[in-house]
Amino acid sequence: MNEQDLCKKRLLDLSRQADRKGIVLFSDFLNLNEMNIYHQCQSEFVTRTESYGGIPYAERQIIAFIPDALYYEWTYPIAVLKVEPAYPKFAEELGHRDLLGSIMTLGIDRAKIGDILMGDGCYYILCEENVAPYFMEQLTKVRHTLVHLSIADADEINFHQELIDKDGVITSNRLDAVIACVYRLSRSQSQELIHAERVFANGKIIQTPTYICKPDDIISVRGHGRFHFISISGETNKGRLKIKYQLYQS
């Protein structure tokens, strides 16, 4: 059984268990490929499902399997950890990969960890609640910088999520044209990314360059990043489309 089939089996099993036990069950954090599998088999679940990653538009998300007869309130088992330099004056300039590398040396399964976001002089780790105490005890250093972890609120992340407002001009709002504009690629290069299954719109793999980008689409391009397609804001004198979008900063 390949990884795709294993992922589908795991999700279907969770749905059946939640229905049988009458309780909400949760998956681990799913990456973009696994989120695509989730979307493909939604019609086969025997429960309702919802997905959430701790913040709006999170890339890595947990699936909740919710029985129809559910009568109690529930919340996602997601903790938010704030990572700050213990001694800011002596702290190195750290990147996303530095923090992820330090996290992975602790031996935690990547599926237990959601998005890692940059704040104002700090980072935020979204993780499953059951691994948060281990992180707070064991994650003491990133590269050569001593760090301090504390529990944070998700609203704080929303405030710090850095999005850069951008404008562009395209011939059409086809996906290949938009990607070429956002990442300064040729149309053929953006088409290659799409055919290589490296492009996702709202968590679903898009395999056709003719997909039409819609307002509020979240487009992820493996190896390049992620952006929020906001709108078509007008036309140039030559009839080309003006677009607004936001780039996610990691």
pLDDT along the chain (250 residues), means of 10: 89 96 96 92 94 90 92 90 91 86 93 89 92 96 94 77 87 95 95 94 90 94 92 91 87
Taking the CA atoms of residue 221, residue 223, residue 225 and residue 230 in that order, the dihedral angle to the nearest 10 degrees is: -30
Same domain, 156 and 167: no
- Domain of residue 103: give its range: 78-160
Cβ neighbours of residue 33 closer than 8 Å, sequence gap 6 or more: 4, 205
Give just the sign of the alpha carbon dihedral 92, 150, 134, 53: negative
The rounded distance, in Å, linking the Cα atoms of 192 and 186 is 10
CATH number reported for the structural domain that contains residue 197 in this entry: 3.10.290.10
Same domain, 45 and 102: no
Q: Of 37, 66, 95, which closes a domain?
A: 66
Residue 136 lies in a domain: yes
Residue 72 lies in a domain: no
- Write b or e for each residue in 55-68: b if 16 or more Cβ atoms lie within 10 A of its Cβ, otherwise e: bebbbbbbbbbbbe
Same domain, 120 and 189: no
Same domain, 170 and 230: yes
The rounded distance, in Å, linking the Cα atoms of 26 and 11 is 9
Residue 109 lies in a domain: yes
Neighbours of 212 (CB within 10 A): 11
Same domain, 58 and 133: no
Residue 161 is predicted with a pLDDT of 65
CATH number reported for the structural domain that contains residue 41 in this entry: 3.30.1370
The rounded distance, in Å, linking the Cα atoms of 115 and 20 is 31
Same domain, 207 and 132: no
Residue 240 is predicted with a pLDDT of 93
Same domain, 234 and 174: yes
Same domain, 121 and 182: no
Residue 72 is predicted with a pLDDT of 78
Strand stretches in the chain, DSSP E: 25-30, 48-52, 61-66, 78-85, 113-118, 123-128, 141-142, 145-151, 163-170, 199-201, 204-205, 217-221, 225-235, 241-248
For the chain, how many structural domains are there in total?
3
The rounded distance, in Å, linking the Cα atoms of 42 and 97 is 33
Q: Of 100, 127, 160, which closes a domain?
A: 160
Instruction: From 173, 242, 174, 250, select the one nearest 208 (Cα to Cα).
Output: 174
Residue 1 is predicted with a pLDDT of 67
pTM of the model: 0.81
Q: Of 160, 175, 196, which closes a domain?
A: 160
Same domain, 34 and 11: yes
The rounded distance, in Å, linking the Cα atoms of 237 and 221 is 31
Residue 159 is predicted with a pLDDT of 58
Cβ neighbours of residue 90 closer than 8 Å, sequence gap 6 or more: 145
Same domain, 57 and 37: yes
Residue 184 is predicted with a pLDDT of 95
